[in-house]
Amino acid sequence: MQRINKILTEQVQNIIKELYGADVPENQVQVNKTRKEFNGDFTIVVFPFLRFSKKSPEITAQEIGDALVKNMQDVEAYNVIKGFLNISLSDDYWKNFFNGIIGNDNYGFKEITENSNKIVIEYSSPNTNKPLHLGHIRNNLLGWSEAKIMEANGNKVIKVNLVNDRGIHICKSMLAWKELAGGKTPDDVKMKGDHFVGDYYVAFDKEYKKQIAELVANGMDEKEAKNEALWMKNARKMLQEWESGKPEVRNLWETMNNWVYAGFDETYKKLGVSFDKVYHESQTYLLGKDVILKALEDGKLQKREDGSIIIDLTKDGLDEKVLLRADGTALYMTQDIGTAILRYEDFNFNESAYVVGNEQDYHFKVLKIVLEKLGYVWAKNISHISYGMVELPDGKMKSREGTVVDADDLVDEMIKTAKQKSDELGKLESFSKEEKNEIFRKIALGALKYFILKVDAKKNMTFNPEESIDFNGNTGPFVQYTYVRIQSMLAKAKELGIKNIHKYNNSEKLEQTELSLLNLIYDFEDVIVEAGKRRNPSVIANYVFDLAKEFNRFYHEIPPILKEENKDLMKFRLSLSEKTAIIIKNALDLMGIEVPERM
């Protein structure tokens, strides 16, 4: 079915040609949804046509409105507000639209075909020296939702993770474990492996600061003390030994990383995210080094006097970028060059998207330019889905100081809060313990995911756990509860023997709340497209909240549906309710949120 806004655009083009003898390009015809405070379904912006009509905005709008009513059966009326023409569609249009999508549970989703664009999306990208924290939660939830939205727009999506499993930060945890653990393992102390290793990363920082303070107290400059502190010198030495393949260092590295991976997998399962392929820095940085050394031979890069290899980007308005250190060890850029090349070889992508915080905006700008200068034409298809910081109401987090908000602890706390809130409402008394726990989990994760994803990804945000689990307001539980309310009504209809709710002949004039619901259902297809273009799940969140609000208004303003004497009208309203529930469920799924059937 052709979209009505597309039909309106074509009709306006024809009308301008007939009335004023002018050809107007499609991109100059603006057809938008009418704002809530005005009457109408769609609004046409008239100002671009005044140079053809040579008349006032109001007269031009009236002439176009008259022609639309005359030429289009679906256009019932119009009104003019200055240079804006508000079009009202007929009841028959909305009923026909609704009947056309009743049997399509995937309304709004585009089909994935053999010719679909292939998008590789990287998210999570944790370091193996600490557990996942609140910042990682935002990254993972954004990445998962972005992938779902990309698929809904008809793209083939490959979800990948790049594990940062090498570097000085990893050596810090390893060194602290060697010095302090006495050989203990996560099993010995009954801890998740990522938490266990993370404690040693914090322990390194505490000892390192202590050593700096001692050196400064003995008269050394603080900057020099940071370089000369014993543990930092030993960590650098360990990194060189790791890169040279020293068996003792490599074995410890592998053992500790495996502890962390086991912990990560538990957290990913809790969050409901997964990956199609996992890359490791320890493998991809070698390819990056080889590419850089070859580019140096070919004269594309320069070597400084200290032995470091750089690329001069001053002509691009940037600076000189070090690609390989003087001692031959790799940097993040080294590994990212190798990973990008390997990823293209693996998937021959149309786009490679990185979900990484906005503090790395410059890094990805440089990565793209460097790869292009090294001759990789596909580098132009690299994109950075940038997002802002996430904090708790009491401030920022620092991993090395042990003040992070642990992801596992946060999820567990959310589930406890969901249980407390649900117990206060007293609606789950007849449920078994297993059913209750599953509902608590879905409410808790729905609250967490919705609260984080409803904020524009580019903005910094404060996550308030207490505020997120509220059954009223702009929250996940409110939207979930709306879905459950509809399911409860449909179950009662079934108990009453009401069948074939999609077969009716609703000849009644549509109520305003029904029209509003149909308008929002129509919007779902455009909302998916908009969320894909903007790379922003908040578009979906704002939409599904509006849909849930509108359904609740509809539910409260019309007489009780199941007591309606007009059976066709009852079936239509049940069908409209069911379709609303399906779209709520599908919209929440695009955000990685599950819906309970009861709550």
Residue that finishes a domain, picked among 401, 433, 453? 401
The H or E element containing residue 571 is: helix 567-590
Q: Is 37 a domain residue? A: yes
CATH of the domain at 433: 1.10.730.10
Q: Is 409 a domain residue? A: no
Q: Quick one: 441 and 554 in the same domain?
A: yes
- CB burial string 85-107: b at 16+ within 10 A, e below: bbbbbbbebbbebbeebbeeeeb
Q: Is 117 a domain residue? A: no
Q: Quick one: 438 and 397 in the same domain?
A: no
Q: Is 114 a domain residue? A: no
pLDDT score, position 146: 98
pLDDT score, position 404: 67
Q: Is 101 a domain residue? A: no
Q: Is 288 a domain residue? A: yes
Rounded Cα–Cα distance for residues 335 and 174 (Å): 21
Q: Quick one: 524 and 427 in the same domain?
A: yes
Residue pair 46/38 in contact (Cβ under 8 Å)? The answer is no
Q: Quick one: 388 and 463 in the same domain?
A: no
Q: Quick one: 75 and 130 in the same domain?
A: no
Rounded Cα–Cα distance for residues 401 and 513 (Å): 54
pLDDT score, position 467: 84
CATH of the domain at 237: 3.40.50.620
Q: Is 113 a domain residue? A: no
> Which pLDDT tens digit goes with each residue over 240-284?
999 899 999 999 999 999 999 999 999 999 999 999 999 999 999
Burial class (CB in 10 A: 0-12, 13-18, 19+), 197: buried
Q: Which amino acid is at 417?
A: T
Q: Quick one: 388 and 248 in the same domain?
A: yes
In terms of residue numbers, what domain contains 491? Answer: 423-590
Count the alpha carbons within 13 Å of 390 in the hemisphere toward its beta carbon.
30
Q: Quick one: 468 and 334 in the same domain?
A: no
What is the distance in angstroms between the CA of the first residue and the CA of the last residue of the chain?
37
pLDDT score, position 465: 80
- List the chain residues with pLDDT less than 50: 396-402
pLDDT score, position 397: 40
Q: Quick one: 468 and 556 in the same domain?
A: yes
Q: Which amino acid is at 386?
A: S
pLDDT score, position 268: 97
pTM over 0.85: yes
Q: Quick one: 11 and 62 in the same domain?
A: yes
Q: Quick one: 441 and 544 in the same domain?
A: yes
pLDDT score, position 401: 46
pLDDT score, position 1: 64
Per the DSSP assignment, residues forming a β-bridge with 278 are 161
Domain count, the chain: 3
Per the DSSP assignment, residues forming a β-bridge with 163 are 280
CATH of the domain at 42: 3.30.1360.70
Q: Quick one: 71 and 144 in the same domain?
A: no
Rounded Cα–Cα distance for residues 13 and 21 (Å): 10
Question: Which 3 state secondary structure label does DSSP give 14?
Answer: helix
> Which pLDDT tens digit goes with each residue over 413-451?
899 988 988 887 777 778 888 999 999 999 999 999 999
Q: Quick one: 467 and 338 in the same domain?
A: no
Q: What is the percent of the chain with per-residue pLDDT over 90, rounded to a whole number?
A: 88
DSSP 206-252: HHHHHHHHHHHHTT--HHHHHHH-HHHHHHHHHHHHHHTT-HHHHHH
pLDDT score, position 403: 53
Q: Is 438 a domain residue? A: yes
- CB burial string 309-330: b at 16+ within 10 A, e below: bbbebeeeeeeebbbbeeeebb
